[in-house]
Every structure is written in C-alpha cells, then in structure tokens.
Copies of this chain bind each other. A is one copy, B any other.
Amino acid sequence: MQPGKGRKGKSLKQRLVLKSSLAKETISEFLGTFIMIVLGCGSVAQAILSRGHFGGIITINVGFAMAVVMAIYVTGGVSGGHINPAVSLAMCLFGRMKWFKFPFYVGAQFLGAFAGAATLFGIYYDGLMSFAGGKLLIVGENATAHIFATYPAPYLSLTNAFADQVVATMFLLMIVFAIFDSRNLGVPRGLEPIAIGLLIIVISSSLGLNSGCAMNPARDLSPRLFTALAGWGFEVFTAGNNFWWIPVVGPLVGAVIGGLIYVLVIEIHHPNPDPDFETEQSEDKPDKYELSVIM
C-alpha cells in the first residue's frame, strides 16, 4: 500500500477514523478507566473471593498499581491517561489541559469505571454467587461490596476520613507533577507509567489502611453505583456513616493542594524556562501558570 494508492473511495477504515481530537480523547479515557477497574478491582476480587488463598495485600497493591500502569500505556499517547477526575481537575487548574475538555474527560471516566465494574461482575459471576450462598453482602466476613468500592475502617471518624483522602491524593498529584516535570530529575520518556505504578504501590502500602486509598472519584463512585444496582442495594451509600462522598470530594481537594505544593515549592523556582512550554502553548496549553498568574 503505497501513499496515494489503494485508498480510492472511502474505505471502512477511513469512515471509522475519528477526526475530532476531543472524541479520540474521550473514548481513550473511557477505555483507560475501564481497564483500570477490571484489572484493579479484579485484584481485590481475586483476594476476597479466594479468602486470601490466591491474593492479599501485596497482589492487591501491586495489581491495582499495574492496572493503572497498563491503562496509561493504552491511553497516555492519546488522552494523557488521566483516568481520574481529580487528575483532570489538577491538569486544568494548572494549565496542562483546557477547561472545555474537563466534562468530557470526567464523563468518560465515570462511564468507563461503571462499564469496568459491570464487566468484572460478569467475569466473576459464578465466584460471587458461590461465595456467600448467592447473597451479595456489604458487611461481615462474607462481604463482597468492597471488591468494587472503598469502605472506611471501623475506627475512622468522618473528619479523619476526609483528611485521609485529601492527604493521599495530595501526595499522588504532587509526585505525578514531579514525574512529568522534565526540568526536574526526569523519568525517561515512556517509563512515566511505571514510576506512577511504583507511586501507587507506596501510597497504598502507607496510606491505605484508613479507607483503602481510592484517591479517584470515578474509581469509587461508579463501581459503588453499580453494586447498588446489581444487588448489594443502596446501603452501599449509607454504609460507614454515609462515607460514599468522601472519596469523591476528598481527592478533588487533595489534587489541587498537591499540585499547588509542587508548583510553589519546586516548579516555579526552576531557573531555565520549560523546554516544552513554547511549542506546546501554541496549541493546547496556553495558560500553564494560569493559577499562579491569577494569584
């Protein structure tokens, strides 16, 4: 197939190609969040449904982290691989993405997470049915709702729960900003997803005890809604003193704080101008320092 040849008329392939960059990015975020939920929540499912015989804290932490890594490899070159409304918010707020894309990204993330939860439910349908004699439970040793969404530890107050999600997501974004900062030490191009995977491993190993370290509104709310509809019932929302809104609001607040700390403590002091800045601003990132300029 030489250029100009074999492309007479509109082939099916040509008709399938998305011309709109935003459409590509939206479908990419959908697919990425879908992958993260199937493989990430799947790691939790394997540990719980095997009652710890074929999984545990290590396979869950590594599995969820690598699920994120793979989601970013699939989508990073197209949509940046946010797969998290809190990340998209920080990217917009600090001038890494235009605001008009925000609702499309977030919508795709919520839909992708819902589809992922449904797919995982299908793959483990027989396992879920046999686990508790056909019952889908939220609490107790036969509970399975926490395969899909996070629930707080018994000791946790709402204040501490909120602080926990804020601080965890603060660390997530602060370090994600560092990983992609080419004027800092610099992760080699193409290995950023693996650095982010290692970051998720350490946050899950250190700040995961309070409430499972969701750090992502789409990752938590969509699967929770799915479980409510699929048979666990709407107690998934009232459980843990109406905990459900904490991993939705907390990460959004934490992402902003984390990005702000990185920008204020490290990024704005870099002596050399950002080599990526001139070229990128003309198209997509014209207002990188919008926030600090506003201040």
Contact = CB atoms under 8 A, between A and B. Distances in A.
A269 B18 contact: yes
B39 A293 contact: no
A239 interface: no
Contact of A153 (B66, B127, B191, B288): B127
Contacts of A149: none
A58 interface: yes
Please give the count of copies of this chain that the complex contains. 4
A190 B186 contact: yes
A259 interface: no
A58 to B, nearest CB: 6
Interface stretch (A135-143, A192-200, A214-222, A227-235): A192-200
Given A13-B268, A266-B74, A185 B175 contact: no
Interface of A: 1, 3, 6, 11-13, 16-18, 24, 27-28, 31, 35, 38-43, 45-46, 49-50, 53-63, 66-67, 69-70, 72-78, 81, 119, 122-127, 129-130, 153, 155-157, 160, 163-164, 167, 171, 174-175, 178-179, 181, 183-195, 197-199, 201-203, 205-210, 261-262, 264-266, 268-269, 273, 281, 286-289, 292-293, 295
Given A13-B292, A55-B205, A194 B183 contact: no
Given A1-B281, A69-B198, A293-B1, A76 B184 contact: yes
Contacts of A41: 206
Contact of A157 (B16, B126, B286): B126
Nearest to A178: B74
Contacts of A194: 195, 198
Given A74-B266, A209-B49, A287-B1, A191 B188 contact: yes
Given A81-B185, A197-B198, A206-B63, A123 B289 contact: no
Report whether over half of chain A's contact residues are helix, strand or loop; otherwise say mixed. helix
A211 to B, nearest CB: 11
A206 B45 contact: yes
A46 B205 contact: yes
Nearest to A40: B206
B295 A74 contact: no
A14 to B, nearest CB: 9
B74 A262 contact: yes
Contacts of A18: 269
B188 A188 contact: yes
Contacts of A16: 264, 268, 292
